[in-house]
Amino acid sequence: MSKQRLFTPGPTPVPEETLLELAKPVTYHRTAEQKAVFAEVVADLQYVYQTKNSVVVLTSSGTGGMEAAVSNTLAPGNKAILLTAGRWGERWKGILKAFGVETVLVEAAYGKAIPPADLEAALAKHPDTVAVFGTLSETSTGVGHDVATFGKIVAKTPALLVIDGISGLGAMECRTDDWNIDICVSGSQKALMMPPGLAYVAVSDKAWKRIEGNTASRSFYFDLKRYKAKIPENDTPFTPANTLIKAQRISLKRIRAEGIENLWARHALMANAARAAVKAMNLENFAERPNNALTVITVPAAIDGTAFLGKLEKQYGYKLANGQDNMKGKIWRLSHMGYLDPFDILGALSAIELVLVEMGHPFEAGAGVAAAQRVLAEGVRK
């Protein structure tokens, strides 16, 4: 049986020292020790977010953080602009609909990114917009958005910029304060080297003002005001997932030790190597404006994309992700997030080549791995 290797864009592999922390006995949560851990985790998250804003810790998957962002800032009938270019933009759409928000759609096709000019035009047309929703790393297509420019545009208006950074944060450059992101949501199981279970929400002063004035908000468990009230005590309003928070502390230590710029550079190196390999394997990169959290490969017409992934997993232990919904069988998604390094990527590329050979794809075996290796060598040479 082959060794199991996880390359899905969430969940992602967890470092050994974090797994050991997770094996420890469960402790009571209202203690001075737990509060110290909580304070450390929040401070390290602020570092990852590059923010001085408060970071709220929720016991939920990333979508819970997204729901909190919608339900706290908007009232039914309020207007929002949604920038959507994939399945995770559609997740925002579903949540906005559930909360009765009037949503103006700014769309791009799968594989494409929203041009900032489209946002500018939509805001000019809808000056009563309360919030703009977007996605940093659109994990369903591998596209990265120009959130820095979105931020410049939105900051000139009374609207809030709310970003789903669930797979982007910790994998690609994200400067919450410099880029004027009012609410940035992330989750533990993507680049933050943890199992699923925690969502993080960074909230700016501009957003807190809106949240505090929004008396029509309908939320109890995700009422962010309750979390804000507990921040000075380094505590949470409800029982926190304290074992996960203690484990997140360990993974964040690893991230801090690496340094955020080095961490972005490591993801860029893996992504550049993988993209070069894709071309050398006579395949195509799906994303027009790719981000460094994952590489998305277009399945060639002659290959059964789902059968390919089955072989890769069964024969070589490499678990990649299929396309979601109508993209199933059309793309393969190779994660670079979190606890992965360039040598993990070389191994994945090697296994991909073997299945391509087996399925009769026309290319020169070894060319993909060689192209990736050349990218790595370039980094050493300079």
Residues near ligand PLP (CB under 6 A) are 10, 61-63, 88, 91, 135, 137, 139, 164, 166-167, 187, 190, 196
CA distance 258 to 358: 39
CA distance 246 to 248: 5
Q: Supply the minimum distance, in Å, between the C-beta of residue 244 and ligand PLP.
A: 13
- Closer to ligand PLP by Cβ: residue 101 or 321: 321
Q: Supply the minimum distance, in Å, between the C-beta of residue 240 and ligand PLP.
A: 17
- Closer to ligand PLP by Cβ: residue 271 or 280: 271
Q: Supply the minimum distance, in Å, between the C-beta of residue 291 and ligand PLP.
A: 10
- Closer to ligand PLP by Cβ: residue 171 or 224: 171
- Closer to ligand PLP by Cβ: residue 139 or 242: 139
- Closer to ligand PLP by Cβ: residue 142 or 368: 142
How many helices and strands, by DSSP H and E, does the chain display? 13, 15
Q: Supply the minimum distance, in Å, between the C-beta of residue 293 and ligand PLP.
A: 8
Q: Supply the minimum distance, in Å, between the C-beta of residue 145 and ligand PLP.
A: 10
What are the φ and ψ backbone dihedral angles of 198, each rounded to 5 degrees?
A: -125, 140
**Cβ neighbour number for residue 146 with a 10 Å cutoff:** 17
CA distance 103 to 97: 8
- Cis link prior to 11 (omega < 30° from 0)? yes
Question: Which of 5, 46, 290 shows the shortest CA–CA distance to 170?
Answer: 46
- Closer to ligand PLP by Cβ: residue 115 or 196: 196
Per the CB < 8 A criterion, the answer to whether 109 and 288 are in contact is: no
Q: Supply the minimum distance, in Å, between the C-beta of residue 1 and ligand PLP.
A: 28
- Closer to ligand PLP by Cβ: residue 133 or 316: 133
Strands 5-6 and 183-187: unpaired
Per the CB < 8 A criterion, the answer to whether 20 and 243 are in contact is: no
Q: Supply the minimum distance, in Å, between the C-beta of residue 148 and ligand PLP.
A: 18
CA distance 294 to 278: 13
Q: Give me the half-sphere count of Cα atoms (radius 13 Å) on the Cβ side of residue 278.
A: 23
Which pair of structure tokens corresponds to residue 252?
A: 């964040």
